[in-house]
Structure formats: structure tokens, C-alpha cells
Amino acid sequence: MAGKLSGLGATITVDDASAAANDISNDVTNYEFATPRGVQDTTGVNKSAMERLLLLADFSVTLNGVYNIDSAKSHLTLSSVSSTSVARTVKLQPINAATPYLSCETLFTDYQVSRADSGALTWQAPGVLQDGTTPTWTNS
């Protein structure tokens, strides 16, 4: 595997409401994901600098894309977010099958569709960690 890589050529799969993994990479125009950790301030009055402990791990994702009603693509995968309360596996794999990936059980909290004044029809779907499993990068 190469050292430094660009962000070109990612694969993003998201489960639909029936747990079928759908590759929606072609519909996603950009994405953000984060794996933050909670922090507890433990600084005593005898310190001159901050003292902290790392706490629980978390995961969040925001997918943005182009509206696509084809079978197993973005709209049919995400349109049931408002009517189903199911966790969906999200797998983010920058580049290709030879690179590390991050896979998490995710609760999508919204599926927002927007029509711009130019006529562009796009969507945004934010999600958060569901099952308490620490988000961990896996090497292919």
C-alpha cells in the first residue's frame, strides 16, 4: 500500500431499512465523519496546566449527495429514515479495497432533500453511533 493518498475514489455503503448493504458511492458528492472522544477535566488546584482523562469514543457521519431513485441507490436506501427506527451499517472506505476502512452501526437522524434555485436536487443525511462499539479503522 502507498503512503500518502488523495481522497479520490471512495466507496461508501449504507444499509437500507431491511439491512441490505447498498453501494451509494456514485450518489455521494461529499462526506464528513468524525471519531471524537469525550474528555474529562481532572485538573487539581495544585496544577498550572490542564490535566484530562479520555472518556467514551463516538462516531458521527454526514453524507451529502445527488438525488437518485434507481434501485439500491441513495433515495431508496435513505428515504425510510423518517419511518423506521433501525441501525444501519455505514462503511467508509477511502480509495479502494486495499486501504483501511471504518464501519459502524449508525442511526441516521434525518434525510433532508433540497432543491436549489438552479434546479439541483440534492440530499443530506446525518448519522450517529448506535451500538456502543468503539469506532475502529480496519486494515483490508
* 127-137 tens-digit pLDDT: 999 999 999 99
Counting every residue written for the chain, the total comes to: 140
* pLDDT number for residue 62: 98
Report pLDDT digits (tens) over 79-138.
Answer: 999 999 999 999 999 877 678 899 999 999 999 999 999 999 999 999 999 999 999 999
User: Strand 101-108 to strand 112-115: parallel, antiparallel, or no bridges (unpaired)?
Assistant: unpaired
Give yes or no for a contact between 102 and 135, defined as CB atoms under 8 angstroms apart.
yes
The answer on pLDDT for 43 being more than 70 is yes
Give the 3-state secondary structure of residue 107.
strand
- C-alpha–C-alpha distance, residues 26 and 73, integer Å: 8
The mean of the pLDDT values for the chain is 94
Give yes or no for a contact between 23 and 101, defined as CB atoms under 8 angstroms apart.
no
* pLDDT number for residue 97: 67
* pLDDT number for residue 25: 96
Give yes or no for a contact between 25 and 66, defined as CB atoms under 8 angstroms apart.
no
Beta-sheet strands, E only, within 76-119? 88-93, 101-108, 112-115
* pLDDT number for residue 2: 61
